[in-house]
Amino acid sequence: MTPKTHTCCLSLFAGLALLASAPALAQSDTYPVKPITIVVGYPPGGSTDLTGRTIGVELSKRLGVPVVIENIGGAGGAIGAQKVVNAAPDGYTLLAGVNNEIAISRLVSTAVKYQIKDFTPIGLIASQPMVLVASAKSGIKNIDQFISAVKSNPGKYSYGSSGVGTALHLAGEMVKDQGGLFMTHIPYRGVAPLTSDLVGSNIDFGVFVLSSGLPQIKTGRVVALGTTEAKRSSVTPDIPALAENPKLKGLDINVWFALMGPANLPAPVLAKLKKALAESLQSPDLRKKLEESGSAIAPLNVDMPKFLKDETAKYQRIVDFAKIKE
């Protein structure tokens, strides 16, 4: 092949590559032109579903296309997350997820094959603490009494969560680790059976997401001992943070909600989604709805790669302490 022929071939290949990429580039520039699906990995009615639907309404206003919520329950959100991982990276299939399926599931279950690198982080939406509660009939009224009772009777008490490897389970294990306590973890299939057993005094303690626990706390069916973030929640300033107790001063864990896409979202698509999300989080309607549910709106411009790395390292430490593996 002569140098001239070689150069012509290279030019031809370059031209073909450019033509092949042209439709994708054009689609990125005109995005979005059809409805967007936001996958929620849980049944309708929970805090993740509420968050996904609320952000969906605001994104639709700003992107000019319908946003459809698709509930795909199962495996602690991992089935829905896997669908998004497998989707085409075109911005039309997104995940409104929580730390369970985004960062924790793969640490505790060999059945979960995806990793954080299989997502494109778009941004945080909101967060809310969890709350440690006691059965009203237990006689435990505050965190000092809780620590004293459990410390004095290792193995006597148990606490419930919504399942193995969930953020609620990890919060309970962090309390045990920080306080040097021994309690048995009882996993439940959701909030309803856990609430029933707490109210019936079939279990001593439980961990709820704040929005799920508030109705039971307000009616006196359970006793709030403390929330799990480093500082008190602005939603419940009367409930102390567990970290206010010197024995639990390092305790800081919450449930956070994030908007994620499949890996390799085109830069123009990602930029449009980030802009729409940032504008949505300033909406008075969104802020009112999420804050009333117990959430705090996420700050803007969170460094998502660093945030996810730090959160995963925290969860890994708890998983190792509790020896959680399915």
Q: What pLDDT does residue 7 have?
A: 47
Q: What would the pLDDT profile of 67-101 be if each residue is shown by its tens digit?
A: 999 999 888 889 999 999 999 999 999 999 999 99
Q: What pLDDT does residue 17 have?
A: 46
**CA 274 remoteness from chain centre:** 18
User: Which domains are delineated in the chain?
Assistant: 28-128+255-322 (3.40.190.150), 129-248 (3.40.190.10)
User: Is residue 201 within a helix (H) or strand (E), and if so which, with residue range?
Assistant: none
The answer to whether 203 and 160 are in contact (CB under 8 A) is yes
**CA 307 remoteness from chain centre:** 12
In three-state secondary structure terms, 237 is coil
Q: What pLDDT does residue 13 have?
A: 46
Cβ neighbours for 128, distance < 8 A, ≥ 6 positions apart: 47, 209, 210, 211, 233, 235, 254, 255, 293, 294, 295, 296
What global pTM score does this model have?
Answer: 0.84
Q: What pLDDT does residue 1 have?
A: 52
Q: What pLDDT does residue 27 have?
A: 59
Q: What pLDDT does residue 70 have?
A: 97
Q: What would the pLDDT profile of 269-305 be if each residue is shown by its tens digit?
A: 999 999 999 999 999 999 999 998 889 999 988 999 9
For residue 252, count CB atoms less than 10 angstroms from its CB and return exposed for 0-12, middle for 13-18, buried for 19 or more. Answer: middle
Profile the chain (326 residues) by mean pLDDT over runs of 10 residues. Answer: 49 47 58 97 87 97 98 89 98 96 94 95 96 95 97 94 90 95 90 89 94 91 96 92 95 96 97 98 95 90 94 94 85
User: Of 140, 147, 290, nearest to 210 (Cα)?
Assistant: 290
Q: What pLDDT does residue 318 have?
A: 93
| Helix 167-179 × helix 143-152 angle, to 10° | 70
